[in-house]
């Protein structure tokens, strides 16, 4: 492993590499694939697919074995053979693929535990290239819900939600932690304070009104330009989303932040319909992509991975 990339594999491949590349003997799998490509036994794409499939099968067997053990050694320099396999993408494909439900218990043995986001969660989720439905499910992870609390009411189905949450745990996006027991606050009333002089009371009221006025200015921001970012077009940047009525209400409240550039639009069908808050109107996907790293402060919801979407129709 180098970072999150698999750069080399050795061991028993159950004869599957020999069936694809010929009886080339044992050895490092990526090197055998490179040798097969060099002599024309397989194209680079075919060799990559064979190695990835065998790695996935052997990794699945290891994860499902009750007595499997792993050891880690650092400082071993990887040898490049022109092939790498993304470990996060591999795990997601394994869990969402055929018979992937068997891996749910491996990565989520206790669904009642809280799911806590690990560093760079939004960035790493965005790099996976998941569907809008998958992004909506992972956006539910907020360090306050368990996998069970997210999956049971999910409009996308409990099984799919659990698989996605298990994949997130398997790729190191989240971890399961115990719920912190809330400590009840003391009910003893504080001693009665002496009466505040009238002059001090008026001063406190004046300061409070001044603070409210400043807060209203920060919310309304009358000095802000009403220019529509992007100039118009079907592409936008999704900055928040939700499926439940309370979440939809929050999205509509957020429209007050920037009425010219924020819109609420639906996606999905039937019972699986959800909503997303999008920003801007761009004529091309490339222009919207370039804007993601320059979004105004506070536009993207906490923990939400911003991504480009094509919007058809108008705001509901």
Sequential DSSP letters for 83-95 = --EEHHHHHHHHH
Residue position matching structure tokens 């007050």:
256
**pLDDT for the residue 307:** 92
Residue 25 has pLDDT above 70, yes or no: no
* pLDDT on residue 225: 47
Residues whose CB is less than 8 angstroms from the CB of residue 135 and which lie 6 or more positions away in sequence, other chains included: 125, 238, 241, 305, 307
Query: How large is the average pLDDT for residues 280-309?
Result: 90
Nearest to 306 by CA among 287, 285, 292, 286: 292
* Helices first, then strands: H and E counts in the chain: 12, 8
**Whether pLDDT at 223 is above 70:** no
Q: State yes or no: pLDDT of 143 exceeds 80.
A: yes
pLDDT above 90 coverage of the chain, percent: 23
| Angle at the Cα of 253 from the Cα atoms of 304 and 242, rounded to 5 degrees | 40
- Sign of the dihedral through C-alpha 28, 34, 40, 41: positive
Q: Reply yes or no on whether the pLDDT at 314 is more than 60.
A: no
Q: Is 271 helix (H, G, I), strand (E, B) or coil?
A: helix
Q: Is pLDDT above 70 for 76?
A: no
The predicted structure's pLDDT at residue 125: 83
47-57 mean pLDDT: 87
The count of C-alpha atoms lying within 13 angstroms of the C-alpha of 279, restricted to the half-sphere facing its C-beta, is 26
Structure confidence at residue 110 (pLDDT): 93
Q: 214 pLDDT exceeds 60?
A: no
- Lowest mean pLDDT: which of 25-34, 253-262, 298-307? 25-34
> Residue 157 and residue 152: Cα distance in Å, rounded?
8
177, containing H or E segment:
strand 174-177
Q: Is the pLDDT of residue 8 over 50?
A: yes
Q: Summarize the confidence of residues 51-70 as an average pLDDT.
A: 86
pLDDT at residue 303 in the model: 83
Question: Which two structure tokens, joined as six digits, stand for 18?
Answer: 């020999």
68-72, 205-209, 220-224, 278-282: which range is least confident on average?
Answer: 220-224
Q: What is the pLDDT of residue 167?
A: 92
Nearest residue to 248 via CA among 229, 266, 223, 222: 266
pLDDT reading at 156 higher than 70 = yes
- pLDDT computed for residue 83 by the predictor: 74
pLDDT at 82: 63
Per-residue pLDDT reduced to its tens digit, 35-51 = 888 888 778 888 888 88
Q: Is the pLDDT of residue 182 over 50?
A: yes
Rounded CA separation 150/142 (Å): 10
Segment 295-305 mean pLDDT: 88
pLDDT of 270: 67
- Segment (H or E) for 201: helix 198-220
- At 85-112, the pLDDT tens digits run 888 899 999 999 888 899 999 999 999 9
Distance, in Å, from the CA atom of 275 to the CA atom of 132, rounded to the nearest integer, reads: 10
In contact, 11 and 51? CB cutoff 8 Å? no
Which range, of 39-43, 75-79, 114-118, 178-182, averages the lowest pLDDT? 75-79
Helix, strand, coil percentages (3-state) for the chain, rounded to 5, are 45, 15, 45
Kind and range of the H or E element at 241?
strand 235-242
């Amino acid at each position: 492993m180098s970072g999150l990339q698999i750069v080399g594999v050795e061991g028993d491949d159950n004869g599957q590499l020999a069936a694809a590349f010929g009886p080339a003997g044992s050895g490092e799998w990526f090197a055998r694939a490179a040798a097969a490509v060099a002599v024309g036994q397989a194209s680079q794409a075919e060799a990559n697919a064979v190695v990835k499939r065998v790695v996935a099968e052997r990794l699945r067997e290891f994860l499902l074995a009750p007595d499997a053990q792993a050891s880690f050694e650092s400082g071993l320099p990887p040898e490049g053979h022109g092939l790498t396999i993304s470990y996060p993408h591999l795990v997601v494909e394994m869990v969402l693929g055929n018979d992937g439900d068997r891996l749910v218990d491996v990565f989520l043995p206790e669904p009642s535990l809280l799911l806590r986001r690990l560093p760079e969660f939004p960035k790493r989720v965005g790099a996976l290239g998941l569907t809008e439905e998958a992004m909506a499910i992972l956006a539910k992870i907020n360090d306050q819900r368990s996998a069970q609390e997210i999956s049971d009411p999910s409009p996308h189905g409990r099984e799919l939600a659990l698989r996605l949450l298990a994949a997130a745990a398997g790729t190191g996006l989240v971890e399961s932690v115990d719920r912190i027991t809330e400590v009840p606050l003391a009910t003893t009333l504080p001693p009665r304070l002496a009466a505040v002089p009238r002059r001090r009371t008026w001063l406190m009221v004046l300061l409070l009104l001044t603070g409210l006025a400043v807060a209203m200015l920060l919310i309304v921001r009358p000095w802000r330009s009403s220019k529509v970012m992007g100039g118009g077009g079907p592409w936008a940047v999704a900055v928040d989303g939700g499926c439940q009525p309370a979440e939809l209400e929050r999205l509509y409240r957020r429209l007050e932040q920037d009425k010219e550039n924020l819109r609420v639009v639906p996606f999905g069908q039937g019972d699986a319909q959800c909503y997303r808050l999008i920003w801007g109107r761009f004529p091309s996907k490339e222009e919207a992509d370039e804007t993601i790293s320059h979004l105004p402060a506070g536009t993207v919801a906490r923990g939400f991975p911003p991504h480009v979407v094509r919007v058809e129709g108008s705001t509901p």
